[in-house]
């Protein structure tokens, strides 16, 4: 993952080199401002992965030249430096601050993507709290909605899919816990929620099967039989279809015969 972050940063910094270099003239080479000199020194530390020293160097630039465009760029590099040191909350502070203070800056999409990445990097396993995954989805989705043509939008879509799989996995795990403890109403609620909220990020036959389990356990034979019929039609080769048929005694028709 760190390799991915560095790749993104290199792409941005390559673009910055073109933006921050003064245009050449045929006769006179423009003077380099003191702010740019400070920025280049700090950026050299950053590029050498000396983030510990780069942070105070960028901070000093902001204090000495607060209205310089290089001070604006320094805010992003501070976020990058903290992210690469896994100081996610500090990184989020700088990225969010950048977006708030410079809403029309061309690098706002980058700041949104990197904020989402900070949350993404803090995601926990499916058996843990999924707040970070939810936050990551929120930021990545806002990037997709607001800046669909951004060079970071494709990466954001991939991260959204990964984060949603994690969230759905957590919901399924909770549903299975309820099911194992015969709390069928709570289990069904979780499974149906996952089916509606994350249809592209789950194994649908498995979820339908678990819903059928709750139905047959609580005597909701009508819905359970409909689910078995749906599985038989859409996923005839799935192991979960065969298991669902066993719940109903083989087929929905046989279940109806038993009721008679």
Contact 175, 210 (CB under 8 A): yes
Whole-angstrom distance, CA of residue 53 vs CA of residue 78: 11
How far apart are alpha carbons 141 and 235 in whole angstroms? 31
Looking at the domain that runs over 168-259, which CATH code has it been given?
1.25.40.10
pTM score: 0.83
Burial status of residue 219 (CB atoms within 10 A of its CB: 0-12, 13-18, 19 or more):
exposed
Give CATH 1.25.40.10 domain extents, the chain.
Answer: 35-164, 168-259
Q: What per-residue confidence (pLDDT) applies to 248?
A: 78
- What confidence score (pLDDT) does residue 21 get? 42
Tell me what pLDDT residue 32 has.
Answer: 76
Average pLDDT across each block of 10 residues of the chain; the chain has 260 residues. List them in order: 63 50 47 90 97 97 96 97 97 97 97 98 96 98 98 97 97 97 97 97 97 96 96 96 86 49
Class of domain 35-164: mainly alpha
Q: Are 84 and 93 in contact (CB under 8 A)?
A: no
Distance CA 6, CA 47 (A): 10
């Amino acid at each position: 993952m760190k390799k991915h972050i560095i790749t993104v940063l290199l792409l941005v910094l390559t673009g910055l080199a073109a933006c921050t270099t003064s245009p050449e003239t045929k006769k006179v080479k423009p003077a380099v401002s003191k702010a740019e000199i400070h920025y280049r020194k700090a950026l050299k530390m950053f590029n050498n992965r000396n983030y510990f020293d780069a942070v105070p160097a960028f901070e000093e630039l902001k204090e000495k030249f607060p209205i310089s465009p290089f001070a604006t760029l320094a805010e992003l590099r501070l976020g990058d430096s903290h992210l690469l040191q896994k100081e996610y909350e500090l990184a989020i502070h700088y990225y969010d601050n950048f977006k708030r203070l410079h809403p029309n800056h061309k690098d706002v999409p980058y700041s949104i993507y990197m904020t989402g990445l900070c949350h993404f990097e803090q995601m926990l396993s499916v058996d843990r709290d999924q707040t970070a995954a939810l936050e990551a989805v929120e930021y990545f989705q806002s990037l997709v909605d607001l800046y669909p043509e951004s060079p970071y939008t494709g990466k954001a879509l991939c991260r959204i899919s990964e984060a949603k799989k994690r969230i759905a996995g957590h919901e399924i795990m909770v549903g299975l816990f309820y099911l194992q403890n015969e709390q069928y109403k709570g289990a069904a609620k979780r499974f149906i929620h996952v089916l509606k909220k994350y249809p592209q990020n789950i194994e649908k036959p498995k979820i339908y099967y678990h819903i059928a389990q709750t139905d047959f356990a609580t005597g909701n034979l009508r819905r359970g039989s409909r689910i078995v019929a749906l599985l038989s039609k859409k996923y005839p080769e799935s192991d979960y279809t065969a298991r669902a048929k066993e719940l109903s005694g083989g087929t929905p028709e046989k279940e109806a015969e038993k009721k008679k």
